[in-house]
Amino acid sequence: MSRSTPLRLLIFAVLISGIGPVFVRESPVGPAATAFWRLAIPLPFALWYARYAWRMSRRDSAWALASGLLLATDLVFWNGAILRTSVMEATVLVMLFPIVVAAGEIGIFGRPLSRKLLAGGAIAFAGTAVIALGAARHESSLTGDLMALAAAVFYAGSLLISGELCRHNNPRGVTFWIMFGAAVGALPIAITETKVLPEGLYEHGYLALYGMLTFAGYTLYNNALAKLPTTMVAISGYGQPVIATGLALVLLGEVPGLTSLIGGAIVVAGLAIATLGQNRHEPAKRVTEP
């Protein structure tokens, strides 16, 4: 595998993840139900894809399930934050997760991170704040803000666990167990919503497409996590609002304002600084592909 391949996988993962907000907005079911179906529908395919790799040790399988539960909790808190506080506050607070990931890599795992990576992440975060400022509403809520912070912490925890597991296991197996755990975690909230079940061919097809895109995104992210620092993968998440803004323009006709364009340019600059010239992070143990 060439040195550039993991970074290319990460770029494709960000592109796919950027589609998410558009799918959530137009989803035919509730937000938690959308989270459940996007995770549950591709599970049979994820199991087939990991057919030679899903049988990890009990300990690692349990940690992967825990990572999935953290991911589901993140989705629940994030959806709640959007409904309760301003878009600006929710977006800025949830995008603190790369800082939590960096602190975990340094403080928990004792893994040094380059100044270039950290500086690029800080610039990308500033760009995200500018984008959020352009989309700000006037409503604000302490409860919503705390939910956004909680979402950041839970997602960071999920990402840290995923990163360690992917370095020691086949990412295919890790992807299956995380998606399974996340689907189980999202189900209790999904069944409380008004619209849970899709109806008709269009709604089933819509959620199936979103589910397969979700599976593709997680697969690419986890393969990147096996080779790159977890903090770099986390920082790449700052590119998602930029992708979502571009897709909203093309698919929904939503024209971004000048503030959003400036913020997007800052994010791209930060991501370039954080990723270009970075060395590949070697996994602790090589995994033989089937």
Mean pLDDT per 10-residue segment, the chain (290 residues): 66 78 77 89 93 86 94 82 65 78 82 78 80 62 79 92 92 94 92 90 93 91 88 80 69 69 81 65 41
Flag whether 230 is in a domain. Answer: yes
Let me know how long the chain is: 290
Residue with tokens 């269009």, as numbered in its chain: 202
Q: Tokens in use for 276?
A: 């270009």
Q: Is residue 184 part of a domain?
A: yes
In this prediction, residue 207 carries a pLDDT of: 93
Provide CB contacts within 8 A for 233, sequence distance 6+.
10, 159, 163, 221, 224, 225
pLDDT at 89: 64
Domain membership of residue 281 (yes or no) is: no
Q: What are the Cα distances from residue 73, in Å, to 125, 137, 284?
A: 23, 25, 29
Burial class (CB in 10 A: 0-12, 13-18, 19+), 245: buried
Is residue 288 included in any domain, yes or no? no
Give the pLDDT confidence score for residue 152 in this predicted structure: 87
Tokens of 77: 């808190």
Domain assignment of residue 17, given as a range: 5-275
Is residue 192 included in any domain, yes or no? yes
Tokens of 248: 């909203």
**pLDDT value at residue 6:** 76
Q: Say how far residue 184 (Cα) sits from the centre of its chain.
A: 18
Residue 280 within any structural domain of the chain: no
**Amino acid making up residue 64:** A
Structural domain tally of the chain? 1
Block residue for tokens 């591709």? 42
285 found inside a domain: no
Query: Is residue 254 domain-resident?
Result: yes
Q: How far apart are CA 189 and CA 183, in angstroms?
A: 11
For residue 125, the model assigns a pLDDT of 80
pLDDT score at 288 = 38
